[in-house]
Amino acid sequence: MPSNPAKLRVIWLQGITCNGNTHSFLNDPSLGTLLDSVEFLHHPLLPCTFTLQQLVKKLPKSDILIFEGAYSASFERAGMAMESLLMTLALKTKHIISMGSCASFGGIFKENDPEHISGIVFDKENDSGPLRDMRKKVITLSGCPAHPKWLSFTIDMIRFDKPIAVDEYRRPKELYAYLVHNGCLRNEYFEWKVDSEHFGTKEGCLFYAQGCQGPFTHGSCNKILWNEVSSKTRSGTPCVGCTEPTFPKRELFTTKTYMSIPSEMPIGIPKRSYLALAGAAKSFHIKRLEERLIDDHT
């Protein structure tokens, strides 16, 4: 193991937000260990060096700037507009972490004023955000919210000066090369095209009718479990695609189909290949997959 470097000086700044990433971060059961390696110059809820008012006055240098929430030039914190506050802090930091889908792409709050609200580097899929020219020092942790372990992983990589391989939206590949579908407990039902009859059962795949976006959403939700124990799909909820720039889509609990085939394919799978396999899989009746997984609970 490398020797222990000095504590990283971190600023947590919020744009237009619900505080969801803040509370997701506080769920980290290893928070104490993480706090041994970082010093919060500012954090909205944890004890820190500067209050928001002091932060806005001093505009200190930092090692990492974590930005939570969507960006709007005129949105103010402690009387200072994001246009200057975010820009100044961004210029004076070494690394920027875009925490959550609002900061990354605009997210839900973009919907209220699409013209003026965006992410910090990306505005949906376009790299037209205010920090686009600084994109090389930005790591995107999209998700609504982002998982606390995704953040602590990124901080550790920065701390030990390890290069982070990223995708086109600057999301760490080690976290986002997976699909939410990977590790889903219902994978076998997907393989054999057995759909879930309705919500509230352990059986069947949610991709065919209930709107699950797991096969085309990047994220390690079923590898690095939520709150250490579960995920949306493990609790029978369809993936809503919250890590993607397209979030939030519409009609989130219904699968759009074309000729009764899901209109969006698993990533990288040509429709012809999908149809060939689906046709074959559907022609068999696998009794085990058509029965209840557990007969009763008594």
Partner 1 sequence: MITHELIERIEGEAVLDFQTDKSGAVQDAAIRFLHFRGMEAILEGRNALDALVITPRVCGICGHSHLIATVKMIEDAYRNAGVAIRISDKATAIRQITLSCELIQNHIKWLYLVMLHESGKMMGEEPTVALKALYVSSQVNQLCALFSGQWPHSSYALPGGVSCDPTHIEVMQALKILSDVERFIEDEVLGCTPEVFEQAMRDNEVLSLSGDFGTVLRNFERLKVLDTGKSHGRFLVLGDKSVAMANGIRNSADFALVSEDDSQTFEHGGKTYAKNALYNGEFYEGGPLARALVQERTGITDLYRTYGDSAIIRLSARVAEMVSLCAQVRQLLTSLDLSQPSFIPPPAIESISAEGIGIIEAPRGSLIHRATIEKGKIVSYSIITPTQWNLGNGTASNLGIAQKAMIGAESIAKASLIFRTFDVCSVCTTH
Name the residues that contact partner 1, by CB under 8 A: 14, 16-24, 26-29, 31-32, 35, 44-47, 51-53, 75-78, 108-109, 111-113, 144-145, 198-202, 226-237, 240, 242, 248, 250-254, 294, 296-298
- Determine the Cα–Cα distance for residues 200 and 236; give it in Å rounded to an integer: 6
Cα–Cα distances in angstroms (integers) from residue 98 to residues 4, 104, 123, 151, 254, in the given order: 25, 6, 13, 10, 30
Phi, psi values for residue 62, rounded to 5°: -150, 170
At residue 132, the 3 state secondary structure works out as helix
Helix, strand counts (H, E) of the chain: 11, 9
Provide the minimum distance between the beta carbon of 142 and partner 1 in the complex, in angstroms, as a whole number. 13
Contact 252, 238 (CB under 8 A): yes
Placement of tokens 């795949």 in the chain? 205
For residues 279 and 57, what is the distance between their CA atoms, to the nearest angstrom?
64
Cβ 157 to partner 1 shortest distance, Å: 23
* Cβ proximity to partner 1, 143 vs 262, nearer residue: 143
Report the residue number, 136 or 288, with the smaller CB distance to partner 1.
288
Q: Which is nearer to partner 1, 3 or 298 (CB)?
A: 298
Instruction: Give me the least distance between CB of 228 and partner 1, in Å please.
Output: 6
**Nearest Cα to 17, choosing from 25, 5, 28?**
25
Q: Which helix (H) or strand (E) holds 11?
A: strand 8-14
| Least spacing, CB of residue 16 vs partner 1, in Å | 6
- The secondary structure of residue 235, as a DSSP letter, is G
Closest contact distance (angstroms) between CB of 145 and partner 1 is 6
How near is the Cβ of 280 to partner 1 at its closest, in Å? 29
Beta carbons of 256 and 262 less than 8 angstroms apart:
yes
Nearest residue (CB) to partner 1, 79 versus 268: 79
